[in-house]
């Protein structure tokens, strides 16, 4: 992914097409969102900590909401006030992390 494509907002059609490959992610206004059912608070915290490592590596940080017994993640590229390929890539990685934790 080139740095230029990371800053180009995707069209509605491109977003919807990308979401067909991202299990349980939905498009809501200017964000893509997913809720993970963790079953308890501690597992939610552990999941968020794993998300944070990947977000830091990518220098792209989601909005994360923790409640018992779930975690909600929202992604958007703030510089363009919309969804970019960078958001889609982080969503893929977040799904992989959740699956590796037995949460899906």
Output the pTM of the full model: 0.93
Q: Which fold has domain 5-100?
A: Gyrase A; domain 2 (3.30.1360)
Residue whose pair of structure tokens reads 């963790």 in the numeric block: 38
User: Per residue in 49-88, pLDDT tens?
Assistant: 999 999 999 999 999 999 999 999 999 999 999 999 999 9
pLDDT digit string, tens, across residues 6-31: 789 999 999 999 999 999 999 998 99
pLDDT of residue 5: 60
For residue 9, the 8-state DSSP code is: P
- Alpha carbon 39 to its chain's center: 19
Domain boundaries, the chain: 5-100
Q: Using an 8 Å Cβ cutoff, are 66 and 23 in contact?
A: no
């Amino acid at each position: 992914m080139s740095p230029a494509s990371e800053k180009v907002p995707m069209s509605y059609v491109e977003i919807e097409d990308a979401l067909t490959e991202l299990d349980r992610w939905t498009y809501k206004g200017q964000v893509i969102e997913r809720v993970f059912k963790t079953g308890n608070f501690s597992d939610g915290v552990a999941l968020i900590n794993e998300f944070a490592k990947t977000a830091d590596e990518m220098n792209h940080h989601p909005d994360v909401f923790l409640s018992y017994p779930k975690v909600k993640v929202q992604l958007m590229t703030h510089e363009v006030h919309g969804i970019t390929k960078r958001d889609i890539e982080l969503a893929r990685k977040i799904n992989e992390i959740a699956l590796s934790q037995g949460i899906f």
